[in-house]
Amino acid sequence: MISSGQFFDGHASKEKLASSRGSVLHEVKSVGVLIVGIGNMGGGMAANLLAKGWKVVVSDTDAQKVKFWVSKGAKSLNDQSNRAQAATDSIAIIICVVDALQTEDVLFGEHGLADNLQAGHTVILCPTISPQDVESFANRLAERGIHTIDAPMSGGPARAADGTMSLMVACPQAVFNQQAVLLNALSSKVFHISEKPGDAARTKLVNNLLAGINLVGAAEALALAQRLGLNIEKTLDVMEQSSGQSWIGSDRMRRAIAGDYVPRAHVTLLEKDTRLAVECALAAGFEGPLGAAASNVFARAHAAGFAEQDDGAIFKLLSGK
């Protein structure tokens, strides 16, 4: 395994340092990375790494998604006759599935990857799951000598594709250093939260709880503006330039008021994330006034039939349109 610690030889000349960086970068790009789960975010990461010249191997239960990314230059794990070798021949495995159940299946199921990995390999966990699940997966992998990087993402598919998403990371410093080249290729906004897997998951839940609260707030405000007979496009113009502005409010409500509910992020995702955040809060003995209320709105949207629509459908729910 290549360590980015090679980058920090204080006795090396600038020329040798640059040469070393270039050599390491070329080597890790050639070894490549395996991405399991190539939906919106996993696909965005694949696009980003392929554009930067990385070797990317993909795996997904959706054969059409695999076929698409193979057409873009990726290799398919499903086509590999030697699954163990294909899994091991990567600088790291990025798990980008939806939830803990899918993560369990990918790692420890009937054809789980954990059985194919050698000690010293690294698994990067990107799903938004409970901190307790992250800790459990990390402990079980550690029993096999496999490193875990707790690395949930934020920012959406477009930012994953251009490498500007936020990447929250929790892992020992040595593992962080070892995978620095890959992490920095994935994102220009890498936050090393702590050395304890689970802390990045906690950070992501806190962030997504705020995102959910902001989205419900923006949808409620625009639904009220509509009921008051205001031009909601102009109202959103004002909100975007005033104290009511939020990124997720602007992003989702612009599409919603145009009637665009094609899913970039399904209602079910923030439904899950806000629920997990509220559960995490209660386990810590904290109960705030807004989190549970926002979470309930996403649950209502699901029950109303909007589960597979973009989460901007919260506007549709609250406006009654």
Name every residue whose Cβ is closer than 8 Å to that of residue 41 and which is 6 or more positions away in sequence. Answer: 96, 126, 153, 156, 157, 160, 165
Q: How far apart are CA 28 and CA 184, in angstroms?
A: 12
Alpha helices in the chain (DSSP H): 14-31, 40-51, 63-71, 83-88, 100-108, 131-142, 157-162, 173-178, 180-186, 199-227, 232-240, 247-257, 267-283, 291-301, 314-319
Which sequence positions are flagged as catalytic?
Answer: 204
Q: Which two tokens stand for residue 201?
A: 């998951």
Distance between alpha carbon 274 and the CA centroid of its chain, in Å? 15
Q: How far apart are CA 132 and CA 90, in angstroms?
A: 27
Q: How far apart are CA 188 and CA 165, in angstroms?
A: 7
Q: How far apart are CA 234 and CA 61, in angstroms?
A: 43
Name every residue whose Cβ is closer than 8 Å to that of residue 214 and which is 6 or more positions away in sequence. Answer: 246, 248, 249
Helices 199-227 and 247-257, packing angle to 10 deg: 50
CA atoms within 13 A on the CB side of 190: 21
